[in-house]
Structure 1
């Protein structure tokens, strides 16, 4: 090195620094090239010289953060001036990274080695004397980076062993609690609930009869099956020999939690073969809820485990009595719904739709009602969400559509004079591969022209529909079947789908109708929806009309059709016939 103006200049010995001894360019995809090297060399000339040599081999990073975060680089190269400036930050970075190796290389002259190097033993891992032999420099840097990568790999492997179950590879209770603490923190910020589920599978008899080998085979099989049925929807961990833990996403609904519990109960359906024996599983499920049951993560897990102490069979047990009551109601409703169709407990009721122009009934909306064995009607808001979350809505909706078509056929034979019947459909209905064929078959069976049927979909249904489903709706629309957007204005309300989707009718949400007379904002929204409908040549149906003032306001805007209690509540078919006679 040559000292000029107190700057130590780096010189190369041997071949030109831009070439390898063999004359081959370095492989930028090798392990060395994936490392990050930070140059803390004050002289711009020296920094450029080193950068030109290292750039083909690795990623060069700049000290953007004054604290030198250890995760931002894998090796630091300094000269004496850089060492004076960054000594404290480098030492802090190495200490924060312990026990993982974070190498620091010092480039200095022989005279500097004699005078100064001994004071930096705690910081410097390797020093290189200038003039630098290029090949030696490359090999030393490469060796330090390999050592760094080995240390990182060992740390990752050790962390995995500490935080995962050896047999199943699932997170253990330590890692489970870390995730649960994070979930509870997020939920507290978002003001949401977190469900924690503990699954207990008794395995003591398996251990006594089949030993450790048999126990391990059953445990591994249980974990594989749980992973398969849960499908990454929750965090699954093995807590103890016989217990697995689940963390549900913050804000998950009770119905979704119960649906996941139902999948877990399916483990009991198929035995596990071990050494010629067939081991039957009997999972029991306990659920704790943050913040209903506890204000912290540990307490919530303890509540889920405490719920297991109540032996109530395979049904999930909630620590919260209120939630337990809701869960039992949900489970019993689901069970009864399976029997309702076979026992013909469903009824089809109708709410009339009246033309503003002629003041005559022009159609009806078909609505399902469930009459219990005691003669009482189950509230639709109670049983329809259960049907939707358990997959039974498809059977119910198909029953409604067939029944509506059959009834419409009878009305046509009796000259009732109604033009169409509206039927609600969901994403699940449209997802069915035979959705289009089913509707066409129903129309053919009851000899109905396509315009006599209208399909009602919510805005959410439209936005959840895949391109394939939208193609189905387009096909039905091309056949002459009407498509209505229910509760328009309450959801996404995009001009884009008014233009692109096969819509014929907008049903204005009853919330806007209810407030239109006394609330200028609601009135303006209704006026805008009607204006949009006219521009797009769509019909409009005003839902939830209850007063004469609302009727006059909506008629003045040019709304097409009226629907609401002002005309009639939903009524059975026999009463509808009498209503039509009276209204006319």
Structure 2
């Protein structure tokens, strides 16, 4: 009987033949003389075998080991195993049952009994398989909660059974869940998913009626009466806190989309889609981690689909055009190159703003094709101008975070400049700071390859992320770009300006040029000029313009100013101290040296050398907190401030003496010689060289006391 085989495993040929004769009318028998042969047969024909009659005592591999091997293989778990024994032994039966045996028969075989037990075992197996199939059809195998289909069905039944109640559907997933699998392994990721399932069960336990399930991957959904969402912020914060409470050294943040069900006749699938649209609105936003669906989101998805449908033909027919936005040298008001941007001119719809199509292309994976098109168009343009005998200046192009996942990115850029016979310094490359946080390894490797070939790397939107200083420490960036929008919507007056000024100062210390973009007002220009920012880009100077307009601008200005980063040198008149002078002050000099900022009669120590610490202590308060004046005897405050003020005004060297406490509470007499270095806005940069004159002062005072005592004796 094909398809219904019994596997008889026994080292006795006689026993196998007797068994075969008993059941031959209903089943076909496959014989195995030991356990090893049985396992080989199972691996080949497990889908055809409906039961196994297994002897325990056999050579090569006994029955117990066969039971273990069967239990270890998921393919065999539903095949019933009946143990054939010659004598009853409770201990042996318990061991066999523990290893997975289904039933027992005695030797010599009783035909009626063995056929009955085989039939029962097979029926139990079929029932178990049917139940398992039903379970898998309704429940998620990993988490044990409803799967997508069962959740949709259960939600539909719940809505029909409660016509008088209003319901809300919440869809959420875990931000960057794939990183958890990458950092901690898939087993840890699975444990997190099981934890979320258990958390959902507890969350809705007091919200009845309710339904919840795992839709796919790390996506979960739940539905319950909206009356439980009277305070939406509290309700959603509880979900976030429950997810975040999972004990893992990783910041677990959900993105939640909320849809209030208004049309009960709508398919649950569409309700879920609407909640998904809302979730996309807040994806990656730690603070605003949830969003409520509104009608504009559906209109947006329609627009995005139209863009997706037309993007390939638009690229093929040249609807995308290059625009150039000049970058200016703030001192000369002359351009220093440009940034290439892209505009979409649709034959029917006209201009489609980049904000409408670029995010869509990033999501659907089309952005690398568009980026490469822009890179090649810029190379083609530079080659054309070179052939026309024009003087060439750099144009920067954007590299998106998606591009960084291409292992051939560096090679593609290098091949383009070689194809058009262009020096690499003419094609500058702009990468956003967020691209580093998404894929730091890929960015570091790609930048290193490109910089080794002479390309200039610009870090766009510097300061917008949470890891700016790490990026500056770890990556060899050639130019920083900061956005003037950083100044907007600040609750603390002046905080944004001070941060930008500090970034410019820090970049100068590192010899990294800074470009401020988004510059739109004269006040912003004056502010940037006052803090020593050399380069700007924005509507105040020029909007993005067609290629021909940019060429006319360059010709009108008689060429460009010095390109950003080209032979870029720093000196005292620009910002602060050159590398050679820093080396002299902080490495070669044996005297204590400090660099100070002075503004509005306030003194701040911004850097000191090792002899300074050796003199005053490594936990000196002028560096670890407060100001230098806090540690100086108040009698000398006025003279100190007067000295700083004179040096700032006259730019001549001055010195003064004062009494100061050290970090261990002792007092020292110091002489400071101050010298003017540069000015950043209203702040003066001064360098001070300190001399310990404590012994000299003590000798002077001893001498004065001695002279006083001798004078008394003369009288």
* TM-score of the superposed pair, with normalisation by structure 1: 0.50
Higher relative contact order (CA 8 A, sep 6+): 1
Q: Which has the larger radius of gyration?
A: 2
